Amino acid sequence: MASPDDRPLPGGTAVPIEGAHVHSGKVRDLYELADGRLLMVASDRISAYDFVLTPEIPDKGVLLTQMSLWWFDQLDRLAPNHVVSTDVPDAVAGRAVVCEKLAMFPVECVARGYLTGSGLLDYRAHGAVCGVELPAGLRDGSRLEEPIFTPATKAALGEHDENVSYEAVVESVGDEVAAELRTLTLTIYAKAEALARERGIIVADTKLEFGVRPDGTIVLADEVLTPDSSRFWPADRWRPGRVQPSYDKQLVRDWLTSPESGWDRCSDQPPPPLPDEIVAQTRKTYVEAFEQLTGERFR
């Protein structure tokens, strides 16, 4: 085993992890354990517009991890997932999982059931999203006749994911795998959308990631159906033709692009620190999403 890698974890405390540090993304830190499995730790970091922001959102990593675990349980009949164990070091209890090492596919698998965000921008420019033609007259928040698969590239830290066509996925991973990724993504989205709707939440869209085992089995990995990887809207307040109220980090995006922040998104300057009230409201929003979906009380 590699010697412990002291990494700054949420709260700013360096905690020894008995494993080799492999990678840090916008939110998660990954370590390789002695047996070859991986320890995935969700931090309290929050990102928007390809920047990691300050300060962190208290308990965010725990909320994301626990919500993902709940969803993995709901979806286990549709696809195997990468979680091996939740028996993790005390320092990261609740916010970490031990998972399989997989060969990850270089594509973000996005399902959209509603038109908004970058999909809306593509639609307004081309009448299509990722090459999928859509009817005329759709508005921000419109529900699509059928959910669509709108993949994106996986961008490095600090870079922007780019929507791509299905044909680009085929070129990257081949016909058979591309077809299976599309089918799995849309099947998982349909199940999740229906389940969340029963609980008063619309899953407008979601981003999934998949990897493959040595035997060729495709496995659902990373996080799944969290406020970081999905757009959650309160179903009773859905009104097409406007920006929808949300249970995700839209509050942070909205503040960053408001006059109050003083930040120019087109500049090369990082965003300013989030105000205390935005941090508190964002945490509250994540807790509400967790509790409403799972029916469980967050601590």
pLDDT exceeds 60 at position 12: no
Among the listed residues 191, 194, 197, 216, the one whose alpha carbon sits nearest the alpha carbon of residue 208: 191
Residue 271 φ/ψ region, left for φ over 0, alpha for ψ in the -120 to 50 degree band, beta for the rest: beta
Strand 132-133 with 51-52, pairing: unpaired
Among the listed residues 157, 156, 285, the one whose alpha carbon sits nearest the alpha carbon of residue 228: 285
Distance of CA 114 to the CA centre of its chain: 17
From 123-132, 215-224, 246-255, the region with the lowest mean pLDDT: 246-255
162-269-229-7 Cα dihedral, nearest 10 degrees: 120
pLDDT of amino acid 233: 97
Among the listed residues 232, 293, 180, 225, the one whose alpha carbon sits nearest the alpha carbon of residue 75: 225
| CATH superfamily of the 103-249 domain | ATP-grasp fold, B domain (3.30.470.20)
Phi first, then psi, for residue 148 (nearest 5°) are: -125, 150
CA-CA distances (angstroms) from residue 21 to 44, 57, 59, 168, 218? 18, 23, 22, 32, 25
Reported as half-sphere exposure (CB side, CA atoms, 13 A), residue 210 has a value of: 22
Among the listed residues 252, 219, 237, 253, the one whose alpha carbon sits nearest the alpha carbon of residue 292: 237
Task: Enumerate the domain spans of the chain.
Answer: 5-99, 103-249
Give the pLDDT confidence of 195-250 residue by residue, as tens digits: 999 999 999 999 999 999 999 999 999 999 999 999 999 999 999 999 999 998 88
Average pLDDT over residues 286-296: 96
Q: Coil, strand or helix: which one is 212?
A: strand
User: Counting Cβ atoms within 10 Å, is residue 216 exposed (0-12), middle (13-18) or buried (19+)?
Assistant: exposed
pLDDT of amino acid 5: 46
pTM of the model: 0.91
* Beta-ladder partners of 29: 24, 41
CATH no. of 5-99: 3.30.200.20
At 154, the pLDDT band (50, 70, 90 cuts) reads confident
pLDDT exceeds 90 at position 108: yes
Between residues 15 and 152, which one has the greater pLDDT? Answer: 152
pLDDT exceeds 90 at position 159: no
pLDDT exceeds 60 at position 295: yes
d(Cα 36, Cα 45) in Å, to the nearest integer? Answer: 26
Print the SS3 string covering 123-189.
HHHHCEECCEECCCCCCCCCEEEEEEECCEECCCCCCCCCECCHHHHHHHHCHHHHHHHHHHHHHHH
d(Cα 143, Cα 98) in Å, to the nearest integer? Answer: 37
pLDDT of amino acid 6: 45
CA-CA distances (angstroms) from residue 232 to 199, 200, 211, 248, 250? 12, 10, 25, 6, 10
Give the pLDDT confidence of 30-67 residue by residue, as tens digits: 999 999 999 999 999 999 988 999 999 999 999 999 99
Give the pLDDT confidence of 69-102 residue by residue, as tens digits: 999 999 999 999 999 999 999 999 999 999 999 9
pLDDT of amino acid 162: 86
At 2, the pLDDT band (50, 70, 90 cuts) reads very low
d(Cα 99, Cα 16) in Å, to the nearest integer? Answer: 19
User: Counting Cβ atoms within 10 Å, is residue 10 exposed (0-12), middle (13-18) or buried (19+)?
Assistant: buried
Among the listed residues 84, 89, 98, 86, the one whose alpha carbon sits nearest the alpha carbon of residue 17: 89
Among the listed residues 94, 73, 108, the one whose alpha carbon sits nearest the alpha carbon of residue 293: 73
